[in-house]
Amino acid sequence: MDVGRLRALLELARGGTMAAAAEALFLTPSAISQQIAQLEDEAGVKLTERIGRRVRLTAAGNALVRHAERVMAVLDEARSELAELRHEIAGE
C-alpha cells in the first residue's frame, strides 16, 4: 500500500471530511477522494461511507488507520535514525 494514500486516510480520519484532509495535505478534495478510492481498490474493501458532507470510516477503515499510524511511527523512527547517522558521518 502506498504511504501517501495511507497518510490521506489518516488525515481523513482526523478531519472527518475530504476538504479537511485536503487542507492538511495541501491537496484538493478531489485528489484525496481519488487516493482513498485507490486505497480501497488496493485493500479490496470499503474503507469509508458518506454521511452528508462528512465521511465515516468503516470497521475496515478504522482497522487500517490503526495500522497506518504504526507504519507512520516506524517511518518517522527510520527518518530520525538516518538523520542521526548522517550527522555522525558528516561530523567525523
pLDDT at 91 (0 to 100): 59
Q: How far apart are CA 83 and CA 41, in angstroms?
A: 34
Mean pLDDT of 23-33: 97
Q: What are the residue ranges spanned by the domains of the chain?
A: 3-91
Q: How far apart are CA 34 and CA 31, in angstroms?
A: 5
pLDDT tens per residue across span 40-92: 999 999 999 988 878 999 999 999 999 999 999 999 999 999 998 888 776 55
- Which residues, 6+ apart, have CB-to-CB distance to 86 below 8 Å? none
3-state DSSP helix/strand/coil percent for the chain, to nearest 5?
75, 10, 15
Q: How far apart are CA 41 and CA 39, in angstroms?
A: 5
Supply 76's cell numbers: 518517522
Fold classification of 3-91 (topology level): Arc Repressor Mutant, subunit A (1.10.10)
